[in-house]
A and B are shown apart, each in its own frame.
Chain A
Amino acid sequence: MTLTPFLKAMSAVIWKDLAAELRSRELLSAMLVFALLVIFTFNFALELNAQERSNVTAGVLWVTFTFAGTLGLNRSLAVEKDRGCLDGLLLAPVDRTAIYFGKTAANLIFMLVVAAIVLPVYSILYNTNLFLPGLLLVILLGSEGYMAVGTLLSAMSVQTRTRDILLPILLFPVILPALIAAVKASSGFLNAIPMEEIQPWLNLLLVYDVVFTAAAFMVFEFVVEE
């Protein structure tokens, strides 16, 4: 495996997903509307007044991303499966892990786009500034870990009888450490807690990303093999 054809195949998969999304706007619009609905639901479920908000903002944000991400993941792989595109992708004479990384990167881009819209909306609705470099870093790291595992597991769940129902059940218990670390680190940055207290969470998030990206990379071939 030389690097250039690998990167070429990977960027082709990313480009394909982005182009399809740009023309249909099915996935992103659903994710966005859903994310905003989750925030509104939280607003009434939790009485987000000024004092309590500072404690729960990180949690609300991450639950929103997690749920919207599940929606996106289901759709992203179901489309491939339903229209027989996955077989076409697998027939292509490229390294299959390039397909995995391409799909993961495309899903990651969608999740970051959702975050890029949710953050300013949340900032306006609650009159707080969420554009802190630390928080953005946490969102990037957390989303990467989430999508690395999520893409692998949704590639599995679309091939089962229960499909969409199964994905969150498979994904949430495995993603939990990344979620805990992301919530803790985000809330640390939002409440301006000293860096040495946030550091362990960032480290954990990094370890999670590396370990799970590597593990998913190694087993992905067994998931799509026919």
Chain B
Amino acid sequence: MKAIPRALLVVDAAAFLMLVAASVMVFAYAPIERVMGPVQKVFYFHVAAGWVGMLAFFAAVVAGVAYLISKKPIWDLVGVGSIEIGIVFMLINIITGSIWARPIWNTWWTWDPRLTTATIMELVYAAYLMLRSGIDEPERRARFGAVYAIIGFISVPLTFLSIRIFRTIHPVVVGGNDPSVDGSFSMTPAMAQTFAFSLVTFSVLFVSLLWHRIRLGQLAEKVERLKLKLVQ
């Protein structure tokens, strides 16, 4: 395995610097929301984490389809890496949401479509990891993982829709605003800039993490091969 490629180092540095900049923007540049106060600031990283979660799960579907067509092991690494990252970011999304909901909705948790769907997604992808850990043969593990990543992701919009038909109280800040929903607000330009920057920052962070995860997977494969050689 070669040393860390320069492009990856650049992405790492960019992710780190942007994360620092985004934190500064969240705390110093974006104004404090008038009704909710400082707790609204959770919004910037909350939505960005959710965005990365969805992006990661979608990337796993693309990788799954690519694997089933081409049977190249690299796509399996992309798939499992994406899902591991997605699980972590979805968890960040759910936890930051709870922190915000406690003062605003006066509860840590409600059975709202977005909350419930996010949690069901966590369960789907936890099942994905359990499925993989139950299979020893790498080729079959990759194949089943790809199939389950596709099937699991298809169910997400239907889950969302099914819970949506029950009424929601989750604010929709981006696009379409119902002012009667508790905790909704409109963004000032500074807020919108901070929000957009957080989204880009987290996307770069995702690229950096995924890249490292793929390299880790390749190293693990190499170790596996060397071990086999040693036994022979």
Contacts and interface: CB of A to CB of B under 8 A. Distances in A.
Interface of A: 149, 152-153, 156-157, 159-163, 166, 169-170, 172-178, 180-181, 184, 200-201, 204, 207-208, 211-212, 215-216, 219, 222-223, 225
A180 B162 contact: yes
A148 B104 CA distance: 42
A44 to B, nearest CB: 26
A173 B151 contact: no
B134 to A, nearest CB: 4
Contacts of B148: 153, 156, 170
A223 B136 contact: no
A162 B150 contact: no
A70 to B, nearest CB: 14
B154 A173 contact: no
Contacts, number: 87
Nearest to B141: A160
A223 B131 contact: no
What DSSP secondary structure best describes chain B's contact surface?
Answer: helix
B143 interface: yes
Interface in B86-143: 120, 123-124, 127, 130-131, 134-136, 140, 143
Contacts of A211: 154, 158
Interface of B: 68, 120, 123-124, 127, 130-131, 134-136, 140, 143-144, 146-148, 150-152, 154-155, 158-159, 161-163, 165
What DSSP secondary structure best describes chain A's contact surface?
Answer: helix
A169 B136 contact: no
Contacts of B134: 160-163, 166
A76 to B, nearest CB: 19
15 contacts: A153-B151, A156-B131, A156-B148, A160-B131, A169-B127, A170-B148, A174-B151, A176-B162, A177-B158, A177-B161, A177-B162, A180-B162, A204-B162, A219-B147, A219-B150
Contact of A215 (B68, B144, B151, B159): B151
A56 B11 CA distance: 54
Given A208-B158, A223-B143, A174 B152 contact: yes
A176 B131 contact: no
Contact of B143 (A172, A176, A204, A222): A222
A94 to B, nearest CB: 21
Contacts of A152: 147, 151
Contacts of A181: 162
B131 A173 contact: no
Given A161-B134, A200-B165, A219-B147, 18 more contacts: A152-B147, A153-B151, A156-B144, A156-B147, A156-B148, A160-B135, A161-B135, A162-B130, A169-B127, A173-B123, A174-B124, A176-B159, A177-B158, A178-B158, A184-B165, A204-B158, A211-B154, A222-B146
A180 B96 CA distance: 27
Given A204-B161, A204-B162, A223-B147, A173 B152 contact: yes
A225 B163 CA distance: 36
Contacts of B147: 152, 156, 219, 222-223
B163 A180 contact: yes
A215 B140 CA distance: 19
B139 to A, nearest CB: 10
A200 B158 CA distance: 12
Given A166-B131, A169-B130, A201-B165, A177 B155 contact: yes
Contact of B154 (A160, A163, A215, A222): A215
A204 to B, nearest CB: 6
